[in-house]
Amino acid sequence: MIILEEEKESISLLRYLVNVPPAQLINVLLLLAAFLWAWIVRFLLRHSIDIGAVVQLSHPWDQFAANNARLKTQSTRFTTYLARVILPLTLLTNILHSYIEENKDANALVVLMYTLLPLGQAAFLILSILKTCGVVRYCVKRCLVIESSPRALRNVYILFSDTVTSFNKPIIDFALYLTYLLGIQITHFDLFLAVIPPLIRLCQCLKEYKTTKEFTLLANALKYSCHLPVVLCLWYSRVYGDDSLTIRDYNILKVMMFIQSTYSYIWDVRKDWTITSISSIRYQKSRVLFPKFYYHIAIVMDGIMRYWWLWIIILAPYDVSGKPTALFFEKEAQFIELIRRAGWVVFKLESEYSTRDSDAINYQKESR
């Protein structure tokens, strides 16, 4: 009985930490992303995958040339450093949020502190990340001008840009919070932001296609363009009201979301992970670097998490307005997406390492 009570308290604390205000969500997810990256580094190195061969770890202007050992140490230290700052502030933000919800006439200083805390944390996180990693800082400045060579640098662009797409909803929430904070009313500002991450990847694919003429880049661009009809439908519902959308319109929206998820899921497995067979994984056995059941689990879990929105529609309870809520806790889809992205990164880098070209090998030799 005591054990059950302790488990209930742990679950309650976990839900309390993840059920954060919308403005705070991006900070919690950035911290989670740092934890996941530290785990990815340890996981890949444990399986003898040289991360430096497929991801450019440092830039010439960095003070110290990075290598796998330093990456492992720094990622752990950096994550611990961020956690020591963000976790207490997240707890404080949640406490203030609950207090203000219960006390509508809360002290003005308390309200001001609650309002500014997410902004301060976001600034701290972003500046810390950019300060710590010069190659990310370099790619952020040139995200639309993707460099296809060397391959290791291109992979940094891809990892960064694709990860940003996983932060789509939290970025929208944070941007709306900023407009509220600044007292600026911009119509459909969140929908405008919603198309920026996929548009970045779309532009990158088209730019690379212009240079290389590889058809797969056009197919990849089409994958990111599938996001645009969904946003257009949301815009239409806002302009003309939800009542303007008939059952048929909602069904069309679900079909478009299903096409987008299916296209992305197939691309994950077949193209990004280069998995060609369930039984043999890849045609060349030497290119299979993990135990086979790793790939099987990854394929299943990626599918489950890709269609999480569908499971919510089918299985989650509905609120008074007739909209589905969540299976476990509010905003769970954002956490699920980030975890899915971490799994994608693991098998993307494993695939890159198993098929690395001469440029990557040369970079590996130079970085040692």
Per-residue confidence (pLDDT) for residue 99, from 0 to 100: 87
Residue-wise pLDDT tens for the chain (368 aa)? 444 454 444 444 455 555 678 889 999 999 999 999 999 999 999 999 999 889 988 765 554 456 788 888 989 999 999 999 999 999 999 999 888 888 878 788 988 898 999 999 999 999 999 888 878 888 888 877 778 778 888 898 999 999 998 998 888 888 888 888 877 766 667 777 778 888 889 999 999 998 888 999 999 999 998 888 877 776 666 566 555 667 777 788 888 889 999 999 999 999 999 999 888 888 877 788 999 999 999 999 999 999 999 999 999 888 776 777 888 888 899 999 999 999 999 999 999 999 874 344 444 444 44
Per-residue confidence (pLDDT) for residue 238, from 0 to 100: 58
Per-residue confidence (pLDDT) for residue 15, from 0 to 100: 53
Please report, for residues 25, 73, 315, 326, the alpha-carbon distance to residue 318 in angstroms, rounded to integers and kept in the order given. Answer: 23, 46, 9, 9
| Residue 318 bridge partners (DSSP) | 324
Per-residue confidence (pLDDT) for residue 89, from 0 to 100: 94
Residues in Cβ contact with 169 at an 8 Å cutoff, skipping those fewer than 6 apart: 333, 334
Per-residue confidence (pLDDT) for residue 138, from 0 to 100: 83
In which region does residue 319 sit, left (phi positive, over 0), alpha (psi from -120 to 50) or beta (all else)?
beta
d(CA 124, CA 128): 6
Per-residue confidence (pLDDT) for residue 234, from 0 to 100: 67
Please report, for residues 99, 233, 258, 359, the alpha-carbon distance to residue 320 in angstroms, rounded to integers and kept in the order given. Answer: 25, 23, 25, 57
Residues in Cβ contact with 8 at an 8 Å cutoff, skipping those fewer than 6 apart: none
Please report, for residues 5, 84, 269, 290, 329, the alpha-carbon distance to residue 301 in angstroms, rounded to integers and kept in the order given. Answer: 31, 31, 11, 16, 19
Per-residue confidence (pLDDT) for residue 266, from 0 to 100: 95
Residues in Cβ contact with 278 at an 8 Å cutoff, skipping those fewer than 6 apart: 296, 299
User: Which residue is it, tokens 């200083």?
Assistant: 109
